[in-house]
Amino acid sequence: MAAVLPSFWITHASCRLHRMEDGHPECPERLAAIEDRLLATGLDLFLHRADAPAASAEALLRVHTAAHVEAVLGTRPLEGLVHIDPDTSMNAHTADAALHAAGAGVLAVELALSKRAGFVFCNVRPPGHHAERDRAMGFCFFNNIAVAAAEALARGIERVAVLDFDVHYGNGTADIFRNEPRVLLCSTYQHPLYPDWAGDPDAPGLIDSPLHEGDGSKAYRDALQNHWLPALEEFDPQMLFVSAGFDAHVRDPMAGLCLTDEDYYWTATLIRDFAERRCKGRVVAMLEGGYDGHALARCVEAFVRPFVGA
C-alpha cells in the first residue's frame, strides 16, 4: 500500500476581514469557530498549514469573464458596503478575501499534484459555488471550487468530479462547467430553496439529487450511495473536489434538512474511500455554507477526521 500523503489546511487572514451587514449569517466568526474547534480537539496536530496565495488572473479567467473579474477586483469601497444583490455586499477587504479564497484552491491543487498532499481543506470565505461565469450572487464572488478544478485540468488532469453537498444548489459551478465533458458535478440540495434550481435530468455531467424539507440521513445517504457513487464509478475521475457546505445540518437556520454531525463523517469516509481507490487519494475540499457556528465547527471536524485518520 502506498504511503499516506500529508493533509493540509489552507486559509488566509484576509478571509476574516470581509464582512457584510451586521448580523449577516455569512460572517468572519464562522472561520473563527472552525479554527477554535480544530485547536480544542487537537485535530490541528494532524494538519500541515499553508497560507493561501492570491489567485492569478490566469486562474480566474479560466472560469470567469474578464468583465466579472475586473468588477470584483475594482470594487474596494474606502468605507461602508457596496451591494451586489440584496444578500451580498462588499467592504474594503472583500476583493482581497475573494482573491485569496480562490487562490487557496490553486495552491491545494499544486500540493496534491506534486504529491506533497493527499487531502486539502480550504477554510476560506467568501464562499464560491453560487458565483457564475459572469455574476456574483448569494454571498459568492469568485467560484473557488471551479477555479481549483480548472487549475487541475490546466495542469493535465483529464477528468475531475465536483461533489457539492451544500444545502443550496451550486448554480455557479453548473453554469461554469456546462458543456465541459471533463467535469462531473454531483449535487445534493434542498428543493425548493435558493437559488430555485429544479434540476436538469437531461444535462450531461450533472448528477442532481434534490432532497425535500424535512429529509434527513436516510434520504441523503441513499442519494450519495445510489446516485453519486455509480456515476463516479463510471466517470472515473482522477481527482475529487468538494464544495463542503454544512448548512444541511439540522441546526442550520437557513434551510430545512436534518443532517447530523455523523452524516458528515460518513460522507468524508465515502469520499476518502473512493479517492483512495480511484484518485490516488487526491481530494480538495473548500468551505461553502454552514451558518450555525457550533454545528459548523463540529461538522468540519467530523468531515476532516476520516481523512487524517484521527
Residues that bind Zn ion (CB under 5 A): 166, 168, 245, 247, 289
CA angle 172, 77, 171 (to 5 degrees): 5
With respect to Zn ion, which residue has the nearer C-beta, 171 or 238? Answer: 171
Relative to beta strand 88-90, strand 82-85 is antiparallel
CA distance 112 to 175: 26
Name the active-site residue from 12, 68, 129, 130: 130
Query: How far apart, in Å, do the first and last CA atoms of the chain sit?
Result: 19
> In the annotation, is 129 catalytic?
no
Q: Which three cell numbers stand for residue 214?
A: 424535512
CA distance 41 to 107: 26
Residue 202: phi, psi to the nearest 5? -90, -10
Instruction: Kindly state the helix (H) or strand (E) to which residue 261 belongs, with its residue range.
Output: helix 261-278
With respect to Zn ion, which residue has the nearer C-beta, 135 or 168? Answer: 168
* Least distance from Zn ion to the Cβ atom of residue 245, Å: 4
Q: Which residues of 19-39 are buried (b: 16+ CB within 10 A; e: fewer)?
A: bbeeeebbbbebbebbbebbe
* Least distance from Zn ion to the Cβ atom of residue 238, Å: 27
Report which DSSP code applies to 249. Answer: B
With respect to Zn ion, which residue has the nearer C-beta, 166 or 292? Answer: 166
With respect to Zn ion, which residue has the nearer C-beta, 25 or 237? Answer: 25
With respect to Zn ion, which residue has the nearer C-beta, 6 or 256? Answer: 256
Note the helical H segments in 212-283.
Answer: 217-223, 229-235, 261-278
CA distance 26 to 38: 20
Q: Which three cell numbers stand for residue 18?
A: 470581509
Under DSSP, is residue 309 helix (H, G, I), strand (E, B) or coil?
Answer: coil
* Least distance from Zn ion to the Cβ atom of residue 8, Å: 24
What residue is closest to Zn ion based on CB? 289
Active site residues: 130
